[in-house]
Homo-oligomer: A and B are copies of this chain.
Amino acid sequence: MSRLDSAIRRLQAQRACLDWAVGEIAGQPGPVLELGLGNGRSYDHLRARLPGREIFVFERKVAAHPDCVPDDQHLLLGDFNDSLPGALARIGARAVFAHCDIGSGDAVLTAALAAFVGPALAPLLAPGAVVAADQALDIPGCREVALPADVGLGRYHLYRNSSH
C-alpha cells in the first residue's frame, strides 16, 4: 500500500469514526472536545455535522487554515500537559464526545502523548461519552468499542465511558 493509499484510508477511517460519534451523541446535550487541531479538517467536519454544538479545541500551536480556527473562548492553547488538567473549569461541563488526533511523525513523542492523554481525558468525559482517537488510548473508566464495518482494525480507535 502506498502512502497515498494509506492517507486515503486513514482519512476515510477518521470520517467514519467521526460520523459514528455524531450519531451516538444525537440528542445528548454537552460539549465536544477536539484534541489536536492540525490543519483543521476534522474540526471543520465536526462543526458542519454538529451545528450549534460547542466544540472546544486543544492545540499546542495553531497552524490550521484561518477558516478552521475556533474563537478564543473555544481554543485551549498550549501543551496538553498544561491545558488538559484544568480544562473542566474552563469548559464548564463534561463532554459527550472527544476526538483525539494526536499522532505525529515522531513515534516516541506520539506514544508519550497518548500515555498522558488517556488518563488526563477521563475526568473531562460525561457518563456514556464516546471517544474517537488516531492512537490507542488507555482511558480509565472507558472500554473499547467496535469500529464501523468499513474501518480496518487499528486504523482508528473508539471508546465509550462506562463509568458514572
Contacts and interface: CB of A to CB of B under 8 A. Distances in A.
A40 B3 contact: yes
A11 interface: yes
Number of copies: 2
A7 to B, nearest CB: 6
Contact of A12 (B2, B8, B49): B8
A57 to B, nearest CB: 14
B49 A3 contact: no
A15 B11 contact: no
A7 B10 CA distance: 11
Interface string A1-34: 0111101100110110010000000000000000
A110 to B, nearest CB: 15
A5 B45 contact: yes
A105 interface: yes
A147 to B, nearest CB: 17
Contact of A4 (B2, B4, B41, B105): B41
Nearest to A2: B45
Contacts of A49: 2
5 contacts: A2-B41, A3-B65, A7-B11, A8-B15, A65-B105
